Amino acid sequence: MKRILSGMQPTGSAHLGNYLGAIRNWVDMQDEYECFYSVVDLHALTTRPSAEKLRSNVLELTIALLASGVDPERSVLFVQSAVKEHAELAWILSCHTVLGDLNRMTQFKEKTEDDPGVANAGLYTYPILQAADIMVYRATHVPVGEDQNQHLELTREVARRFRHHYGELFPEPAAVNSPTPRVLGVDGQTKMSKSKGNHIGLLEEADEVMAKLRGAVTDPQRLRRTDPGCPEVCNLWSLHGSFTPDEQQKEIHEGCTTATIGCVDCKKMLCDNIIAHTEPIRERARALRADPDGVMDVLRQGNEKARAEASATMALVRERVGIWDV
Ligand code: TRP
Ligand code: SF4
């Protein structure tokens, strides 16, 4: 049985980077795997959000996931903090994690180099909690974007160390690479992310999307409308690749390189295509938002299923490591 575990931080509603890089893939994987999908609020605590913000972000992300097609009839959709075993296993695994391995994590270095004030111990041991997320369900596969490869490698290492010490219990989870490489933000510089403020929300309306696109960086060499552009170096061209029909993509490519289409028109087309693609998602999200109790019920049921699985694993773990379970 192939089992997936994946998690997403509730940092606000999902953006197009989350959607193209992960959520779409989560939806598709439901056909092939038994899937556990988690809204990882304990991980989000590393940025110390306010209680209200964190709580509403969990609900918002859940709505975005359900609206996009994560199907609670087929998959287990749950909130990380509702399953206490994640934190328990994280502690045990931390005793089998070598500091040198943690010190190599580039994500920690990147997040803390500009602002050492954000470097709390939770952020440092974040990959151990991630390993626990995966291992407590004994997942065999984990979908990863390129920035999470290193964290998954650490999980595999921790699983090997555990096996060495206590014998076979956890599979070494394999990476399932996301079909979409990283999606850049509208600044054209870095990966799309909420914290960078360079994102386009999955559930945003046309005027909001267009406002973001208007300010987006395109081919930096194309200074005037009469200059031919180079789509390959334009960040928006890659978004066309995800949202624009092939025929229209050809026209845009031709128009851009011959300076017969301006960037403003190109952005309008992109906006229309994004909105057309996301409209059914927005519509489902509206219905879900009108029924928060229904959404909470979905989570309650998912949490229940996740707990059953995690507590079965932990009973075995406690026995292996010599913790009384009385
Ligand atoms: N660290 C992941 C990210 O930022 C989120 C995450 C937490 C995760 N636990 C996980 C991803 C377990 C995969 C598996 O994207
Ligand atoms: Fe980018 Fe479109 Fe402008 Fe070409 S026309 S540089 S593809 S925004």
34-39 and 174-177: which strand pairing? unpaired
Instruction: Tell me whether residue 325 is exposed, middle or buried, using C-beta atoms within 10 angstroms of its C-beta: 0 to 12, 13 to 18, 19 or more.
Output: exposed
231 and 300 both lie in a single domain: no
> What does the pLDDT read at residue 252?
97
| CA dist., res. 251 & res. 87, Å (int) | 53
Please tell me the number of the ligand nearest to residue 147's CA: 1
Sign of the CA dihedral running 244, 249, 251, 255: positive
Domain count within the chain: 2
DSSP states along 161-182: HHHHHH-S-S--PEEEE-SS-P
pLDDT in tens, the chain (326 residues): 899 999 999 998 899 999 999 999 999 999 999 999 999 999 999 999 999 999 999 999 999 999 999 999 999 999 999 999 999 999 999 999 999 999 999 999 999 998 888 999 999 999 999 999 999 999 999 998 888 999 999 999 999 999 999 999 999 999 998 888 789 999 988 999 988 899 999 999 999 999 999 999 999 999 999 999 999 999 999 999 999 999 999 999 999 999 999 999 999 999 999 999 999 999 999 999 999 999 999 999 999 999 999 999 999 999 999 999 88
Question: Taking the complete model, does pTM exceed 0.85, yes or no?
Answer: yes
Range of 155's domain?
3-184+292-321
List the catalytic residues.
Answer: 111, 191, 194
Same domain, 124 and 142: yes
Q: Specify the pLDDT at position 179.
A: 83
Contact 282, 13 (CB under 8 A): no
Any idea what DSSP says for residue 75?
S
Which residue, judged by its Cα, is nearest atom 8 of ligand 1?
Answer: 7
CATH of the domain at 43: 3.40.50.620
**Does 199 fall in a domain?**
no
Q: pLDDT tens for residues 36-75?
A: 999 999 999 999 999 999 999 999 999 999 999 999 999 9
Same domain, 157 and 269: no
**Domain identity same for 95 and 144:** yes
What CA–CA distance (Å, rounded) separates 18 from 25? 10
Q: Are 65 and 23 in contact (CB under 8 A)?
A: yes
Contact between 86 and 42 under an 8 Å Cβ cutoff? The reply is yes
Question: Ligand 1 center to residue 293 CA distance, Å?
Answer: 27
Residue 199 CA to residue 20 CA, distance in Å, equals: 12
Instruction: Clarify whether residues 314 and 218 are in a common domain.
Output: no
Do 299 and 280 lie in one domain? The reply is: no
CA–centroid distance, 236 to ligand 2, in Å, is 7
271 lines ligand 2 (CB under 6 A): no
239 lines ligand 2 (CB under 6 A): no
Pocket flag, ligand 2, residue 63 (CB < 6 Å): no
Does ligand 2 come within 6 angstroms of the Cβ of 266? Answer: yes
Which atom of ligand 1 lies nearest, measured to the CA of 127? 1
Name the DSSP class of 232.
Answer: G
Do 298 and 160 fall into the same domain? yes
